[in-house]
Structure 1
Amino acid sequence: MKVRRGTRSVWESRPSGRHRAAPLPRNHGRVGMLVLGIVLVVAGVGSITAVASGMTPSTRPTAAMQLQPVPAAAPAPRSSAVTRPETSRCPSTGACVDLGHRTAWIQRAGKIVYGPVPISVGRETGQRAPGPDSSATPTGSYEVTRRVADGWSNEFNQPMKWAVHFAPGGIAFHQGALTAGSNGCVHLGPTPAKEFYDRLPVGSDVFLFS
């Protein structure tokens, strides 16, 4: 039996029990092609965007990757400020060393003209009194006695570049490691050591306090 629906016929079940499937709408193929075309266009745009941004599909960031926090930059180190009382207790012109804050600077007419710069001092500073058997850096007032640009310590078999000697026992400013204690000298970085050597002639005052 045929039933007229619109412009096409649809076969209903016959008494014999056989069935014929209803034919698909005429525009079914067009709809399928249209959907396939949209999928291909979307995929193509995604690939082009990934290539333009330098990413392949395997390297595109996932949601977990995008939500990862960016590590904060390490804070800049603080420089030790020199107070007015500290400059006033030092010689008007000469070198000043603050053993407690591990800093040193040079003054001219009561004003700082170089520094403060970080230093390293004797390992036993503040623990033992300075002396021949101690690695403590002494405190007090001294004068520069000699300068050796390419010095060497025979006692400790170590270089003493830009050495500026000012205290008994060979105590001097010189270039050395800032991450470890010294044998009593005042260690400076390479550039500060050269500056102290150039700015402190023999006879210059040196004052150290803690």
Structure 2
Amino acid sequence: MARHRRPGRARPRARAASVLAPAGAVALAALGAAPVAAAAPATASPSCTDTADVCVDLSEHRAWLVQDGRATSAPMPITSGIPEDPTPTGTTTVQRKERHHVSKESGRDTPMPYSIFFDDEGRAFHTGSTTRPSHGCIHLDPADARAVFGTLEPGDEVQIRR
């Protein structure tokens, strides 16, 4: 079954995996060992299924871009919702993206750059403080927010775990 990818759109792979895999394949072939798939797996994302495109672990305050159950990015520090307005857990999909979104929820204009909305309540991944909690959104530092924005597309699967 096809995943939520545009035809011809390649997902970025973890650099170490792309650099080390050929050498590992040569070494395994030379030794007559098991296929490359039996080699040590790439860094796995925490408790998300292999259908996730992004995996969030609220208890670890980290998120990963993932493909086929394996991390394709380094762990990204995040902050999430306050107890009175928590970030929901579960599986959802990317609904829309807005590069220059401005929220009016708090009665004032609040910039939310690189917003990737994942629920009907206006919660999103976006650039924000990774030291202060949010009102249900997932804050990423600017470089990570750009990377997530550039990678995820509407329909991609979001898994949020505690």
Indicate whether 1:165 and 2:117 are aligned: yes
Structure 1 residue ranges without an equivalent (≥5): 1-81, 125-133
Distance 2:112 2:54 in 1: 18
| Residues 91 and 205, structure 1, Cα contact 8 Å, conserved in 2 | no
Distance 2:99 2:89 in 1: 24
Alignment correspondent of 1:186: 138
Distance 2:146 2:114 in 1: 6
Higher helix fraction: Structure 1 or Structure 2?
1
Counterpart residue identity of residue 113, structure 2 = K
Structure 2 residue ranges without an equivalent (≥5): 1-41
Counterpart residue identity of residue 200, structure 1 = L
Distance 1:85 1:107 in 2: 7
Distance 2:97 2:148 in 1: 10
From 85, 94, 116, the equivalent of 1:144 is 94
Distance 2:93 2:121 in 1: 14
Distance 1:96 1:190 in 2: 18
Indicate whether 1:106 and 2:58 are aligned: no
| Residues 129 and 140, structure 2, Cα contact 8 Å, conserved in 1 | yes
Deviations 1:48-102 (A, max 9, x none): xxxxxxxxxxxxxxxxxxxxxxxxxxxxxxxxxx975825x33434000000000
Q: 1:176 to 1:146 in 2, by over 3 A?
A: same
From 60, 74, 82, the equivalent of 1:123 is 82
Alignment correspondent of 1:196: 148
Larger radius of gyration: 1
Identity of aligned residues (%): 33
Deviations 1:156-202 (A, max 9, x none): 23111000000121010000011111011000000000001011001
Deviations 1:13-32 (A, max 9, x none): xxxxxxxxxxxxxxxxxxxx
| Residues 50 and 70, structure 2, Cα contact 8 Å, conserved in 1 | no
From 90, 94, 115, the equivalent of 2:49 is 90
Distance 1:190 1:94 in 2: 19
Alignment correspondent of 2:8: none
Distance 2:147 2:43 in 1: 22
Distance 1:168 1:102 in 2: 23
With a CA cutoff of 8 Å and minimum separation of 6, indicate the structure with the bigger relative contact order: 2
Distance 2:159 2:50 in 1: 7
Q: Considering only aligned residues, what root-mean-square deviation do their CA atoms show, in Å?
A: 1.8
- Count of matched residue positions in the alignment of Structure 1 and Structure 2: 119
| TM-score, normalised relative to structure 1 | 0.53
Give the secondary structure class of the aligned counterpart of 2:86. Answer: coil
